[in-house]
């Protein structure tokens, strides 16, 4: 495809394991936009893994770092932003992301999320909230129950990812943008 669409920032939200990073990279490549993963920036800036930050300084401190990264990345224009699953816990994060961006929620069922998390090699260092692989399903269910309304109310568009390829999901988002911005 490799086209250019004059769009706002494309922001991907959703639970861990729904494919935000993979889909974000695909969209960025297709639309020749810059890609930013907010967790990667936190890791890069701090020089520490997310697990280390949670263990040593606690979740609240991680959320402060996350907020700083949301603030700075939201100032950019025409980039693709993949966020951490907990970004919706702060309504301020969402307000800031929406100033320059359009928010797509990636939604998946529990099986998809569990399978993706289990097969991800970086989960251990990246997802301290889902460390307990014995109770993974229950953990995910509990977190999702608490966040579901926040995800839905934050999203401009909802995209289901179950049993779909990265390309298929990414193309749906690109097509939505095309129709919004009457391009293509």
* Residue 52 contacts ligand S3P per CB under 6 A: no
Binding-site size, ligand S3P (CB under 6 A): 10
CB of 98 to ligand S3P, least distance (A): 19
Dist. CA 99–CA 83, nearest whole Å: 16
Tokens at residue 181, please? 């911005």
Dist. CA 153–CA 93, nearest whole Å: 13
State the virtual CA torsion across 130, 132, 134, 136 in degrees, nearest 10.
Answer: -10
* Residue 101 contacts ligand S3P per CB under 6 A: no
Which of 84, 113, 136, 169 is close enough to bind ligand S3P by CB under 6 A? 84
* Residue 39 contacts ligand S3P per CB under 6 A: yes
Q: 3-state DSSP call for residue 9?
A: strand
* Residue 19 contacts ligand S3P per CB under 6 A: no
Identity of the residue, 33 or 65, whose beta carbon is nearer to ligand S3P in the bound complex: 65
Q: Which of 109, 108, 112, 104 lies closest to 175 in space, CA to CA? A: 104
* Residue 63 contacts ligand S3P per CB under 6 A: no
Binding site for ligand S3P (CB under 6 A): 16, 39, 50, 84-86, 126-129
């Amino acid at each position: 495809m490799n086209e250019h669409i004059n769009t706002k920032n494309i922001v991907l939200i959703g639970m861990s394991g729904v494919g935000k990073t993979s889909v974000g990279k695909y969209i960025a490549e297709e639309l020749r936009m810059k890609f930013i993963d907010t967790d990667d920036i936190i890791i890069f800036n701090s020089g520490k893994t997310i697990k280390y930050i949670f263990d040593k300084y606690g979740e609240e401190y991680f959320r402060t770092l996350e907020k700083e990264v949301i603030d700075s990345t939201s100032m950019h224009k025409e980039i693709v932003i993949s966020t951490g699953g907990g970004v919706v816990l702060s309504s301020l994060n969402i307000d800031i992301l929406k100033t320059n961006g359009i928010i797509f929620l990636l939604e998946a069922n529990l099986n998809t999320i569990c399978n993706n998390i289990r097969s991800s090699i970086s989960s251990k260092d990246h997802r301290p909230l889902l460390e307990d692989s014995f109770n993974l399903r229950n953990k995910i269910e509990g977190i999702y129950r608490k966040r579901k309304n926040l995800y839905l109310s934050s999203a401009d568009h909802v995209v289901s990812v179950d049993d779909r390829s990265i390309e298929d999901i990414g193309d749906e988002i690109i097509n939505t943008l095309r129709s919004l911005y009457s391009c293509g």
